Amino acid sequence: MKITKLSKLLILSLLAGLNLAGCNELEGELTLQRPIYVIDKKGQATVLPSGNIPAKLSYQADKRRVEVALKDTVANREIKIHFLIPDDVEMPGSFQLRGEDIGQAFDLNGNLQTLSQASKTLRASESCTYYVREYTCRGRGSSGRYHSRCGYYDIPHRGMRDVEYHSTSTTVSFNADLLQPFSLKTLGTLAVLRELSHKKTYDRVGSCRR
pLDDT in tens, 174-192: 999 999 998 889 999 999 9
Looking at the domain assignment, is residue 59 inside a domain? Answer: yes
pLDDT in tens, 41-90: 888 888 898 999 999 998 777 778 889 999 877 778 889 998 888 788 77
| Mean per-residue pLDDT, 21-48 | 83
Asked whether residue 69 falls in the same domain as residue 111, the answer is yes
- The structural domain count of the chain equals 2
For residues 150 and 175, membership in a common domain is answered with no
**158 and 168 fall within a common domain:** no
Residues 62, 129: one domain?
Answer: no
**pLDDT by residue (tens digit) across 120-178?**
999 999 999 999 999 988 776 555 566 678 899 999 999 999 999 999 998 889 999 99
Residue 146 pLDDT: 63
pLDDT value at position 18?
42
Specify the pLDDT at position 7: 43
C-alpha closest to that of 30 among 9, 49, 15, 43 = 49
Q: Residue 154's domain spans which residues? A: 125-162
Q: Are 85 and 110 in contact (CB under 8 A)?
A: no
For residues 123 and 14, which has the higher predicted lDDT (pLDDT)? Answer: 123
The residue-averaged pLDDT of 8-20 equals: 44
- Same structural domain, 156 and 171: no
Please check whether residue 170 is in contact with residue 133, taking contact to mean a CB–CB distance below 8 angstroms: no
Kindly state whether residues 178 and 93 are assigned to the same domain: yes
